[in-house]
C-alpha cells in the first residue's frame, strides 16, 4: 500500500510488551498505522485504518492524523510586478510562490517566508527568498488546521521570527532623493489581522540570522494570547448592583426568594488586569455538554451531580460565548445549593453499557499523570441464557457449585423429577417465560450466594464469585462469562469441587524457576518426598484453604525470593518479576496471570444491570478504589457516564476524550478556586437564616426545631445575613460567612466577667443570648442565658456577662462565668428579633441568629491539673485546706482580681468561682473525709484525670511559716467583702496521749452544727464561715499543744486528722 513500516519485534502471551524506546521512538512520537502480521484479515488494507486498530492493541490514545492534499498556487507574481513580499506562510500548495521572468527582472523581493506541505515551495529565479524556513511534514505550525483554527501553535517556529523592516530599494531612493522625498522602508505592521498588538512570546527566542530581536510573528495572526478564557456568572449576576446577591465573595451567589429559569456563564477571553493583552476568543468546539458538571444539594457535603437531558438542558451560545443551563422543570428549585463546574483540564468520559451490553471480561485502562496504567475488567460473573426457540425440555439438568456444596437443578413440566434435585417447574405452553421465572426462584431458594436477575428474552444474570462453578453440560442452556478477572495475579489455582481439592495426589510435582534456581515441589500426603524435592504437606481431608497454606509455606521457605500469599478461593499469588517461570508439572494445578504483569482491577457489576446509571456508579467506585495505584485520578458517575479527571489517558471501546475549555490559542480555562478548579456556587433560598452550632448535640436543623429567622432586608447582626437551606450537620460549625455581629473582647474565664460588642443593623431590636457553660449540647440549663430581652438601637454596643443582673450576690445570678463551667470549647448563641424570642430554638419572624465557638478557661487561682491540690505538690492533704484557711485569715473572703500579679502555687480558688471563701476549704475537707472513710474520691469535678493521693501533714509544716504565710498586697487590696457567715458552727475535739507505738489512738477533730456531732460525709461546705474556720484552726493548734507527744506523734496526728 506504499506505506513504510518499522519492525519493532514480536509480542506473545508470555511477553506481551514491546519497548518502542529501544527502536528510537520517544514519548511524544505519533504513529499513523500499526500493523499486526499474524492475522492477514485484521484491519483495512487502504485508507486511514490500514493495519490493526490502534486502540484494540492497547494504545494509550489515538486520533486521526490530518491529511494534506496540495492544490493551487500560494502567491503568483507576474507581468512586470515588483512587490516586496515579507513574512508569509505558504502551506499545502502545489506551488508555494511563483514569480515569472518579467517580475523577477523587475526586482520582486521575497523574505521571511515559511514553507510546508507544498509540492513545490518556490518557482522563482530568486529561490526561496531571504530568511526562509522550510518545515517538516510532522512539524506543528497551527493549533488545529483541520477545524480551521490557523492560530499559531505554542512553540511554532513562525513565532517572533518575522523580518521587522526592509530598506527602500536603491533604485527608488535614487529617484526620490532629487525630489526631496525620504526613503520609505517596508515595515512589518504592529497589529495583526484581528487588530491584536503584536507582542513578544516570552517562551520563544528569535532565531539567529534575522537581525535584531524581533517580537513579531510571521503570518497574518500574531500569537499574543497567552492566558486562557475566564468564566463569568451572568445569570444570576455575581455581586450585582441591585444588591440581590447577599454574598460578597466572587463566584458565589446567594439569593433570597428569587425565581430563576436558567444559569448562564459567559466565557470572556482577556480581562485586565490579569490578562496583559486582549484574548483571541473562546474555542467553541471545546465547549460541550461534557465540559460542564452541575451539582445540587442542601449544602456542600451532600452535593449530587445532575444529569444533562434528565434534570436540565445544556446549550452553548457561540455568538456570545455563553453556557446556558436550563432546568427541565422550568425553574430551579428553592432551598438548594447549585454548583457549576467547568472543565479546566482535559477530561475523559466512559459511557457505561447496560443489560446484555455489559459483557463480562470487557476491559478499559486508565493512566495517571505519571504514566502508571491500570486495567479494569468488568466482573459480571456468570450469565445463563435459555434457548428462545424451543426453550428447555423436561428433565434437563445443570449444576451450581458454590464452593461448599453442589446443587443440581432439574426442569420439570410433568411433576416427575429426581427428588435429589432442585425442581424447576415450567409451563410447556409458555416455556421461556415460565422457565425463566421458575429458575430464578429455584436458585434464590437454594442459598448459593447468587442474586439472579432477569434481563429479558430468557437471559439471566447470575453473578457469582471465583468459588462458584456452573456446569450446563448436557443441557440446552448457554453459559457465558465467569467470576473473577481474566488477568488474575500471577499465581497457582487449586482445582476444587464443593470446597474440597480435586485431582491432587501424593507424589505429584510442580516447579518454579527464578533465574538459575529451579525448585521442585512435591505434593505429600504420607510424610515422604523424593530426595531434592520441596515438601508440600497436606492431608486427604485438607480443605482448599489448607492446601493453599501448605503451598504458601513451601514456596516461602524455598529461597526463590518470592512472597507468596493465600488470596482465598484456592488461589496462591506468587508475585515476583517477569523472569519467574512456573511449571505445574504432573499436578492438576493451573497457572493464573502472567509473571511481572499486574492483575486487572475487577469492576463488580451487581444489582440492576439493565440500568446503565447503576453500572456507571459501580465503574466509578472501582476506579476510585484504585487511588493507591492511580495518583490524582478521580471518577464521578453522572447518569450513564463516568467522568474522569486527573488522567493522562483512558482507553476502551466507550472512552471519549473531552478537551478542557480553551481559547483559540489553545490556552486552557483559567481556574477561580485555590485547588485549580473552576466552579460557581449558586444558592437559592426561601429567605431563612439558621444557627450554625453542629446539629446533634445542638438542635440546629429544621427537623429538630432549630433556630431560624425570616430574613428581612436591612435588619440583622453585623454587616449582613446569609440565606440557609437548613442548619448544619454534626460535623459542621461556624460555617456562616456573615456571622460577624458579635466581637468578643475578652476571654471567658471561670468566675469572671467577660466583655463583648453587639452590632445591630436596622434597629432597634431585641437581643437574647446563651452560652452552653456545661457543654451538654443545649442552652437550657440554669444560668446559661446571658442576655434576656435586651433592646438595642442601631449601632454597636459594648456589653458584658454581668449585664444580666449586676447586683446579684451569686456570680451565676450576676451572669459571670460559673466556677462549675466545663473547661474547653463550647458554643454561644445570639438571636436578634423585633419582639424577642421564647428560647434558644424555634422560629422568629425577622432578624438573625449567630452561633459562635468559644473557649472556657480556668482562672489563675485554680490548679488546672487538680483543683483540690492547692500547693500543687501532686497530693491532696490537710495542708491544702490549711493554706486556704491561712489566706482567709490574712485577707478575708471575697473576689480576686482577674489578672493575678504573681503566678501560683498556691492555688486557693478550689471551686474556680473567682472568690476565696470557706467553700474552698470545705471542698478539700469533704474530699479528705470521703477518702479516709473509703466512700470515694470526693468531688470528682475538681480532680484531674489522674487519681490524687492523700499525703501526711507534718508537724514541722506548722512551724515552717504556714501560720504566718505572707500574701501579696495586690491580691489583698483587690479583695471585695461579699461573704458573710451563714451558720454558727461549734468545734469539738479530743486527743489521747500515746502510751506506746502499738496502742496509739489518733486524735480527731469533729465539726458539729447546733451542738450535735456531725457526720463527716454529711458536711456542707457552704455552711462554713470565716469565723468558723478560725475556730477550726485554733482547735487544731490547741490539741497539738495539749497532747504532749513527740514530733512523730504530731505527724501521726495530722496524718490521721479527720474533719
The per-type count for the chain, helices as H runs and strands as E runs, is 12, 65
Give yes or no: residues 726 and 787 share one domain: yes
99 inside domain: no
Residue 771 belongs to some domain of the structure: yes
Neighbour-count burial for 566-578, b at 16+ CB within 10 Å, e otherwise:
bbebbbbbbebee
Q: What is the pLDDT of residue 849?
A: 94
Distance CA 463, CA 10 (A): 37
Run of H or E residues at 604: strand 601-604
The DSSP code sequence of 646-699 is SEEEEESTTEEEEPPPBBTT-PBPPP-STTS-EEEEEEEE-SEEE--SPBTTB-
**How many C-beta atoms lie closer than 10 Å to residue 404's C-beta?**
11
Tell me which residues of the chain have a pLDDT lower than 70.
1-4, 11-17, 26-66, 208-213, 271-276, 389-390, 730-738, 802-815, 892-894, 932-1059
Cα→Cα distances 691→211, 701, 842, Å: 70, 8, 10
CB 818 within 8 A of CB 913: yes
Residue 923, pLDDT score: 83
Q: How far apart are CA 606 and CA 379, in angstroms?
A: 9
The DSSP H or E segment spanning 602 is: strand 601-604
Q: What is the pLDDT of residue 581?
A: 93
Same structural domain, 469 and 499: no
Whether residues 419 and 271 fall in one domain: no
Task: Note whether 983 and 1049 are same-domain residues.
Answer: yes
Q: Which of 871, 888, 846, 859 is nearest to 975 (CA)?
A: 888
**Pick from 860, 847, 946, 960: nearest CA to 903:** 860
Q: What is the pLDDT of residue 609?
A: 74
How is residue 1030 annotated by DSSP? H
Q: Is residue 140 part of a domain?
A: no
Question: Does residue 212 fall inside a structural domain?
Answer: no
The bridge status of strand 1004-1009 relative to strand 985-990 is antiparallel
Percentage helix, strand, coil, to 5, in the chain?
15, 30, 55
User: Any idea what the CATH number is for the domain that residue 287 is in?
Assistant: 2.60.40
* Bond from prior residue into 236 cis (ω within 30 degrees of 0): yes
Q: Please report, to the nearest 10 degrees, the dihedral formed by the alpha carbons of residues 146, 148, 152, 158 taken in order.
A: 80
In a domain, 836, yes or no: yes
- Tell which of 480, 515, 548 closes a domain: 480
- Domain hosting 392: range is 382-480
- For the CA atoms of 74, 77, 83, 88, the dihedral, rounded to the nearest 10 degrees, stands at 10
Nearest-angstrom CA–CA distance, 1001 and 986: 23
CB 897 within 8 A of CB 974: yes
Rounded to whole angstroms, the Cα distance separating 1001 from 1004 reads 9
Determine which helix (DSSP H) or strand (DSSP E) holds 927, and give its type and residue range.
Answer: helix 918-932
pLDDT of amino acid 956:
40
pLDDT score of 37: 56
Q: What is the pLDDT of residue 934?
A: 59
- Tell which residue, 613, 609, 606, has the closest CA to residue 306: 613
On whether the CB atoms of residues 99 and 129 are closer than 8 A, the answer is no
Instruction: Indicate the length of the chain as a whole number.
Output: 1059
Torsion (CA) 19, 21, 26, 30 in degrees, nearest 10 = -40
Q: Is 555 in the same domain as 650?
A: no
Q: Indicate which CATH number applies to the domain containing 705.
A: 2.60.40.10
Taking Cα atoms as reference points, which of 868, 1047, 1033 lies closest to residue 954?
Answer: 1047
Query: Whole-model pTM?
Result: 0.62
Question: How many domains does one find in the chain?
Answer: 7
Instruction: Show the beta-strand stretches assigned E in 517-560.
Output: 517-524, 534-537
Q: Which three cell numbers stand for residue 741?
A: 455581629
| Torsion angle in degrees (nearest 10) through CA of 127, 132, 134, 135 | -160
Predicted local confidence at residue 111, as pLDDT: 92
Q: Are residues 934 and 968 located together in one domain of the fold?
A: yes
CA torsion sign for 715, 719, 725, 727 is negative
Q: Provide DSSP, 64-130.
A: PPP-----SEEEEE-TT---EEES-EEES-SEEEEE-HHHHHHT-EEES-EEES-SEEEESTTTT-B
- Residue linked to cell 513574512: 87
Answer yes or no: is 195 within a domain. no
Specify whether the CB–CB gap between 510 and 584 falls below 8 A. yes
User: Which segments of 270-426 does DSSP mark as H helices, in order?
Assistant: none
How many CA atoms within 13 Å lie on the side-chain side of 480? 16
Q: Which of 382, 412, 591 is nearest to 491 (CA)?
A: 591
Q: CA–CA separation, 183 vs 579, rounded Å?
A: 78
453 plus 509 within the same structural domain: no
Q: What per-residue confidence (pLDDT) applies to 730?
A: 64
Q: How far apart are CA 469 and CA 25, in angstroms?
A: 46
- Model confidence over 779-825: pLDDT tens digits? 999 889 999 999 999 999 999 886 555 444 444 445 578 888 888 99
Nearest alpha carbon to residue 689 among 254, 235, 260, 340: 254
Q: Is residue 625 part of a domain?
A: yes
Q: Do residues 78 and 94 touch, judged by C-beta distance below 8 A?
A: no
Assess whether 587 and 562 both reside in one domain.
yes
Query: 638 with 717, same domain?
Result: no
Last residue of a domain, one of 857, 886, 907: 857
Distance, first Cα to last Cα, the chain: 112
- In this structure, what DSSP letter does residue 39 have? -
Contact 722, 247 (CB under 8 A): yes
8 A C-beta contact, residue 891 and residue 897: no
DSSP state of 220: S
User: Secondary structure of 462-492 in the HEC alphabet?
Assistant: EECCCCCEEECCCCCCEEECCCCCCCCCCEE
Helix (H) or strand (E) holding 756: strand 755-761
Tell whether 848 and 757 lie within a shared domain.
yes
Are residues 907 and 842 both part of a single domain? no
Give residue 802's pLDDT: 64
316 vs 320: CA distance, rounded Å:
9
Q: What confidence score (pLDDT) does residue 816 get?
A: 79
Asked whether residue 581 is domain-assigned, the answer is yes
| Cis before 891? omega within 30 | no
Last residue of a domain, one of 824, 857, 890: 857
**C-beta separation of 103 from 78 below 8 A:** yes
Separation in Å, CA 570 to CA 37, 466, 506, 543, 594? 39, 9, 18, 9, 17
Domain shared by 358 and 497, yes or no: no
Amino acid at each position: 500500500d506504499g506505506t513504510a513500516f518499522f519492525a519493532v519485534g514480536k509480542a506473545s502471551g508470555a511477553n506481551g510488551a514491546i519497548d518502542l524506546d529501544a527502536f528510537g521512538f520517544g514519548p511524544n512520537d505519533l504513529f499513523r498505522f500499526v500493523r499486526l502480521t499474524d492475522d492477514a484479515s485484521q484491519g483495512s488494507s487502504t485508507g486511514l485504518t490500514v493495519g490493526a486498530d490502534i486502540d484494540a492493541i492497547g494504545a494509550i490514545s489515538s486520533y486521526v492524523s490530518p491529511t494534506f492534499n496540495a492544490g493551487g498556487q500560494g502567491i503568483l507574481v507576474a507581468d512586470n510586478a515588483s512587490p516586496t513580499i515579507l513574512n508569509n506562510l505558504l502551506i499545502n500548495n502545489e506551488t508555494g510562490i511563483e514569480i515569472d521572468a518579467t517580475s523577477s527582472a523587475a526586482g520582486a523581493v521575497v523574505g521571511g517566508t515559511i514553507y510546508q506541505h507544498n509540492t513545490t515551495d518556490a518557482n522563482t529565479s530568486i529561490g526561496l527568498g531571504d530568511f526562509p524556513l522550510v518545515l517538516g511534514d510532522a512539524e506543528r505550525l497551527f493549533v488545529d488546521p483541520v477545524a480551521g483554527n490557523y492560530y499559531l501553535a505554542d512553540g511554532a517556529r513562525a513565532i517572533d521570527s518575522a523580518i521587522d523592516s526592509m530598506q527602500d530599494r536603491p533604485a527608488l531612493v535614487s529617484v526620490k532623493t532629487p525630489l526631496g522625498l525620504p526613503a520609505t522602508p517596508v515595515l512589518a505592521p504592529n497589529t495583526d489581522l484581528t487588530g491584536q498588538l503584536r507582542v513578544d512570546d516570552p517562551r520563544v527566542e528569535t532565531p539567529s540570522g534575522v537581525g535584531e530581536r524581533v517580537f513579531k510573528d510571521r503570518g497574518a495572526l500574531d500569537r499574543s494570547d497567552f492566558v486562557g478564557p475566564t468564566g463569568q456568572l451572568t445569570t444570576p449576576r455575581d455581586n450585582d448592583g441591585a444588591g440581590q446577591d447577599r454574598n460578597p465573595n466572587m463566584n458565589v451567589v446567594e439569593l433570597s426568594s428569587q425565581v430563576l429559569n436558567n444559569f448562564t456563564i459567559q466565557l470572556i477571553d482577556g480581562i485586565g488586569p490579569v490578562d496583559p493583552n486582549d484574548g483571541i476568543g473562546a474555542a467553541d468546539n471545546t465547549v460541550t455538554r461534557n465540559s460542564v458538571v452541575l451539582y445540587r444539594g442542601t449544602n456542600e457535603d451532600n452535593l449530587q451531580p445532575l444529569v444533562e437531558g434528565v434534570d436540565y438542558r445544556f446549550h452553548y451560545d457561540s455568538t456570545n460565548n455563553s453556557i446556558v443551563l436550563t432546568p427541565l422543570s422550568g425553574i430551579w428549585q428553592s432551598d438548594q445549593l447549585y454548583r457549576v463546574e467547568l472543565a479546566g483540564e482535559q477530561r475523559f468520559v466512559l459511557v457505561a453499557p447496560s443489560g446484555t451490553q455489559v459483557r463480562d471480561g470487557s476491559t478499559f485502562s486508565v493512566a495517571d499523570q505519571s504514566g502508571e496504567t491500570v486495567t479494569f475488567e468488568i466482573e459480571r460473573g456468570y450469565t445463563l441464557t435459555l434457548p428462545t426457540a424451543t426453550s428447555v425440555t423436561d428433565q434437563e439438568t445443570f449444576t451450581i457449585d458454590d464452593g461448599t456444596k453442589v446443587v443440581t437443578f432439574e426442569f420439570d413440566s410433568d411433576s416427575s423429577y429426581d427428588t435429589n434435585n432442585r425442581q424447576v417447574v415450567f409451563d410447556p405452553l409458555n416455556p421461556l417465560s415460565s422457565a425463566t421465572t421458575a429458575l430464578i426462584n429455584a436458585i434464590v431458594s437454594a442459598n448459593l450466594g447468587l442474586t439472579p436477575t432477569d434481563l429479558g428474552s430468557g437471559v439471566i444474570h447470575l453473578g457469582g464469585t471465583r468459588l462458584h462453578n456452573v456446569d450446563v453440560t448436557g443441557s440446552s442452556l448457554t453459559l457465558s462469562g465467569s467470576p473473577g478477572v481474566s488477568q488474575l495475579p500471577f499465581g497457582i489455582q487449586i482445582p476444587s469441587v464443593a470446597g474440597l481439592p480435586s485431582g491432587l495426589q501424593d507424589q505429584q510435582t510442580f516447579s518454579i524457576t527464578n533465574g538459575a534456581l529451579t525448585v521442585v515441589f512435591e505434593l505429600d500426603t504420607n510424610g515422604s518426598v523424593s530426595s531434592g524435592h520441596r515438601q508440600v504437606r497436606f492431608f486427604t481431608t485438607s480443605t482448599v484453604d489448607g492446601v493453599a497454606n501448605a503451598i504458601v509455606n513451601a514456596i516461602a521457605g524455598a529461597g526463590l525470593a518470592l512472597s507468596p500469599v493465600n488470596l482465598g478461593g484456592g488461589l496462591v499469588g506468587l508475585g515476583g518479576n517477569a523472569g519467574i517461570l512456573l511449571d505445574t508439572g504432573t499436578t492438576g494445578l493451573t497457572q493464573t496471570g502472567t509473571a511481572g504483569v499486574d492483575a486487572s482491577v475487577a469492576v463488580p457489576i451487581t444489582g440492576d444491570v439493565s440500568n446503565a446509571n447503576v453500572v456507571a456508579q459501580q465503574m466509578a467506585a472501582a476506579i476510585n478504589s484504585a487511588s493507591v495505584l492511580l495518583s490524582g485520578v478521580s471518577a464521578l458517575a453522572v447518569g450513564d457516564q463516568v467522568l474522569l479527571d486527573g488522567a493522562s489517558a483512558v482507553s476502551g471501546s466507550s472512552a471519549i476524550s473531552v478537551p478542557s475549555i480553551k481559547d483559540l490559542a489553545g490556552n486552557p480555562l483559567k481556574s477561580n478556586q485555590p485547588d485549580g478548579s473552576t466552579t460557581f456556587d449558586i444558592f437559592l433560598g426561601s429567605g431563612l437564616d439558621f444557627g450554625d452550632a453542629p446539629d446533634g448535640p445542638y438542635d440546629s436543623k429544621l427537623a429538630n426545631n432549630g433556630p431560624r429567622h425570616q430574613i428581612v432586608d436591612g435588619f440583622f447582626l453585623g454587616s449582613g445575613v446569609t440565606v440557609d437551606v437548613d442548619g448544619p450537620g454534626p460535623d459542621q460549625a461556624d460555617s456562616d460567612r456573615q456571622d460577624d455581629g458579635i466581637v468578643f473582647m475578652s476571654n471567658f474565664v471561670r468566675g469572671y466577667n467577660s466583655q463583648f460588642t453587639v452590632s445591630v443593623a436596622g434597629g432597634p431590636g431585641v437581643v437574647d443570648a446563651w452560652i452552653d457553660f456545661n457543654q451538654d449540647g443545649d442552652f437550657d440549663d440554669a444560668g446559661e442565658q446571658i442576655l434576656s430581652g435586651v433592646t438595642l438601637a442601631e449601632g454597636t454596643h459594648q456589653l458584658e456577662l454581668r449585664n444580666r443582673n449586676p447586683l446579684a450576690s451569686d456570680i451565676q445570678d450576676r451572669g459571670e462565668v460559673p466556677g462549675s463551667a466545663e473547661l474547653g470549647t463550647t458554643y454561644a448563641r445570639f438571636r436578634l428579633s423585633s419582639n424577642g424570642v421564647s428560647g434558644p430554638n424555634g422560629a422568629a419572624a425577622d432578624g438573625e441568629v449567630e452561633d459562635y465557638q468559644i473557649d472556657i478557661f480556668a482562672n489563675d487561682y485554680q490548679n488546672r491539673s487538680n483543683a483540690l491540690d492547692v500547693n500543687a505538690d501532686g497530693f491532696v492533704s490537710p495542708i491544702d485546706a490549711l493554706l486556704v484557711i491561712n489566706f482567709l485569715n490574712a485577707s478575708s473572703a471575697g473576689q480576686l482580681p482577674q489578672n493575678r500579679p504573681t503566678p501560683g502555687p498556691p492555688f486557693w480558688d478550689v471551686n474556680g468561682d473567682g472568690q476565696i471563701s470557706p467553700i474552698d476549704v470545705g471542698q478539700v475537707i469533704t474530699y479528705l473525709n470521703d477518702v479516709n472513710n473509703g466512700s470515694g474520691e470526693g468531688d470528682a469535678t475538681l480532680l484531674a484525670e489522674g487519681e490524687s493521693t492523700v499525703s501526711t501533714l507534718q508537724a514541722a509544716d506548722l512551724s515552717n511559716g504556714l501560720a504566718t504565710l505572707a500574701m501579696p498586697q495586690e491580691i489583698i487590696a483587690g479583695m471585695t467583702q461579699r461573704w458573710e457567715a451563714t451558720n454558727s458552727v461549734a468545734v469539738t475535739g479530743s486527743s489521747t496521749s500515746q502510751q506506746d507505738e502499738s496502742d496509739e489512738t489518733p486524735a480527731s477533730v469533729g465539726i458539729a452544727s447546733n451542738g450535735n456531732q456531725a457526720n463527716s460525709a454529711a458536711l456542707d461546705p457552704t455552711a462554713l464561715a470565716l469565723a468558723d474556720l478560725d475556730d477550726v484552726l485554733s482547735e487544731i493548734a490547741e490539741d497539738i499543744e495539749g497532747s504532749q507527744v513527740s514530733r512523730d506523734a504530731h505527724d501521726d496526728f495530722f496524718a490521721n486528722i479527720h474533719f
